[in-house]
Structure 1
Amino acid sequence: MARPTRQYADERILDRAAGLFARHGFAHTSLKDLADAVGLSKAGLLHHFPSKEALFQAAREMGRVHSQQVLDRVAGLPAGAARDRRAVELLVDVALDRPGLVALASRAISALGTDEEPDDDSGLEGIDRLVFSLFGVDPEGGDTERLVRVVGMLSALAVLSLSANRAGDRTGWRPHIITTCLDALGHGGPGATPPAAPAPTRSAPSDPAQVED
């Protein structure tokens, strides 16, 4: 069996590290925690990345790369339900393959409007702005309902992709995650039942003589 490439090994390390950073924050995640999570000694981890800071920045950079790839694939679609659906499908595939990266992005986005300190001094940049661009959202103003829906969708995506990986059933969970994300955005997912039409109301007769006792 062929050994995994250095790039593949590094990406797996970065995804697992991103998951830890998402759960505990940068300041509260130690090198030992990171090394244990990826199955390496601290020296072995430092052979791949020279410091915790370098590991964190590399994880965010990989997240930016994946987000840019998704944005490039939907950029030609007009805003609307079809673009939202395609963006969600692509993000779900990224999230199922790299759940830690999505969890890290969701942590940064979910901190909007709170007193939580950011993990670094970059603010809302890179992966965060790319994800908002996917859905045409301005986090600093504009449509509040749309912003709330996108943040909710991303939070659900992070939790569900992690759960699917823990369950070991990414294929089975995928359509349901897509449906849930689209519901959060206000679109019916695949197979969704349209709302029932309201029952017709009976108008009152204009001639009082037509009223039955």
Structure 2
Amino acid sequence: MRTYSDRVARPFRQQVDEGILDRAATLFARRGFAKTSVQDVADSVGLSKAGLLHHFPSKEALHGAVLAQAGALGRRVLDSVAGLPDGPVRDRHALEVLVDVAVAHPGLVALLLAPVMQGDPAPEVDAASAAALGAFGVEPGGPVDERTVRVVGALSALAVLTLAAGHQDGAATWRPFIVATCFDALGHSAQGHQGPGAALPRPDQVEA
């Protein structure tokens, strides 16, 4: 039978683990797996090396957990637009979901988008990144055209802007402007689709 302390400890442990994964993802995105040590991650989250290994028994285990979480986030974005046709409504919704994910998990999204911005060769990361690209109808390794360049530009801007918003504790204020900036980068215009000053409809407002 679980005690009250067990019920309290489980959510707290999950919160700590998620914080560790996000900080580790930031380091893996910047330095790569080989150049990131367990001590580097421990220092970044304010734990001793032994304390970090209490949560994740090895660097490989930590890296695996980071990749699994990044993959889950990528699939969340892709699943959010399932059934929506290609076009501005789908793009807008994918951006909104990805911005919210990036604000909550900046390190994991940085790792998720690393192949887009840096050409990271790790196949596990590429698989997670492919899900995010797929939300915008782009196939990794496909021909480079205007759409591909616009999607890469929009996602790069999203990563930079959400990180800046997080540093300034301005996520809520910045959110609509980040979405609008990335939406423009994709070649869409709210005025062009709905009339001057009108916002695009949300997917749940679009008739089936």
* TM-score for both structures, normalised by structure 1: 0.80
Match in the other structure for 1:163:
164
Aligned CA distance change for structure 1 residues 45 and 191 (closer, same or farther; 3 Å): farther
**Shift of residue 77, structure 1, vs aligned partner:** 0.8
CA–CA distance in structure 2, aligned partners of residues 167 and 154 of structure 1: 20
Residue pair 2:67, 2:124 contacting (<8 A) in 1 also? no
The match for 1:101 among 108, 113, 120 is 108
Match in the other structure for 1:46:
53
Identity across the alignment (%): 55
Unmatched 5+ stretches in structure 2: 1-7, 197-208
CA–CA distance in structure 2, aligned partners of residues 147 and 191 of structure 1: 21
Residue pair 2:20, 2:45 contacting (<8 A) in 1 also? yes
Residue pair 2:153, 2:185 contacting (<8 A) in 1 also? yes
Larger displacement relative to structure 2 (88-97 or 180-189): 180-189
The structure number with the bigger radius of gyration is 1
Asked whether 1:20 is paired with 2:21, we answer: no
The match for 1:76 among 72, 83, 91 is 83
The match for 2:126 among 124, 127, 140 is 124
* TM-score for both structures, normalised by structure 2: 0.81
The match for 2:92 among 63, 67, 85 is 85
In the alignment of these two chains, the number of paired residues is 187
5 Å-filtered alignment, 1:184-195, equals: 184-188=185-189
Residue pair 1:180, 1:189 contacting (<8 A) in 2 also? no
CA–CA distance in structure 2, aligned partners of residues 48 and 61 of structure 1: 16
Over 3 Å off, 4+ runs: 120-123, 189-194
**Shift of residue 169, structure 1, vs aligned partner:** 1.2
More helix by share: 2
Deviation string for 1:154-204 (max 9, x for gaps)?
11111111111110111111111111111111113689996xxxxxxxxxx
Letter in 2 for 1:30: S
Aligned CA distance change for structure 1 residues 59 and 191 (closer, same or farther; 3 Å): farther
Unmatched 5+ stretches in structure 1: 195-213
**Shift of residue 65, structure 1, vs aligned partner:** 1.0
Aligned CA distance change for structure 1 residues 189 and 57 (closer, same or farther; 3 Å): farther
Aligned CA distance change for structure 1 residues 189 and 172 (closer, same or farther; 3 Å): farther
Residue pair 1:139, 1:147 contacting (<8 A) in 2 also? no
